[in-house]
Amino acid sequence: MARPYRLIDMHCHLDRMANAREVARDAAARDIAIFDTTVTPTDARKAAELLDGEPNVHVGVGLHPWWIADGTCGDADVARAAELASRSAFVGEVGLDFGRRGAGTEKHQLAAFEQIIAAIAANPLPRRVISIHAVQSATAVLDILERHGLAGANTNTTCIFHWFTGTSEELARARRHGCRFSINEHMLKTKRGREYARQLPLEHLLLETDAPPGLDAPYSAEALERSLITAAEGIARVKDIPVQDVMAATSKNAGKLLF
Ligand SMILES: [Zn+2]
Q: Kindly indicate the confidence band of residue 4, based on its pLDDT and cuts at 50, 70 and 90.
A: confident
Ligand 1 centre from 37 Cα, in Å? 7
Give the mean pLDDT of 63-81. Answer: 97
Which of 32, 55, 59, 64 has the alpha carbon at shortest distance from 47? 59
Ligand 1 centre from 9 Cα, in Å? 12
Ligand 1 centre from 212 Cα, in Å? 9
Query: For residue 1, is pLDDT > 60?
Result: no
Ligand 1 centre from 39 Cα, in Å? 8
Question: Taking the domain 11-258, which CATH number applies?
Answer: 3.20.20.140
- Binning the chain into helix, strand and coil, the percentages to the nearest 5 are 50, 15, 35
Domains of the chain: which residue ranges? 11-258
Ligand 1 centre from 2 Cα, in Å? 26
Query: For residue 133, is pLDDT > 50?
Result: yes
Ligand 1 centre from 209 Cα, in Å? 9
Mapping DSSP onto H, E and C, the string for 171-231 reads HHHHHHCCCEEEECCCHHHCHHHHHHHHHCCHHHEEECCCCCCCCCCCCCHHHHHHHHHHH
Tens digits of per-residue pLDDT, 90-99? 999 999 999 9
Element holding 23 (H helix, E strand): helix 20-29
Ligand 1 centre from 64 Cα, in Å? 8
Give the mean pLDDT of 136-161. Answer: 92
Ligand 1 centre from 74 Cα, in Å? 20
Ligand 1 centre from 236 Cα, in Å? 23
Tens digits of per-residue pLDDT, 31-43? 999 999 999 999 9
Mean pLDDT of the chain: 96
Q: Under a CB-based contact definition with an 8 Å cutoff, are residues 156 and 126 in contact? A: yes
The model's pTM: 0.97
Ligand 1 centre from 129 Cα, in Å? 15
The number of residues in the chain equals 259
Ligand 1 centre from 211 Cα, in Å? 8
Ligand 1 centre from 70 Cα, in Å? 16
Give the mean pLDDT of 142-152. Answer: 92
Ligand 1 centre from 14 Cα, in Å? 10
Distance CA 186, CA 225 (A): 15
Radius of gyration of the chain (CA): 17
Ligand 1 centre from 67 Cα, in Å? 12
Q: Which residue type does 158 have?
A: T
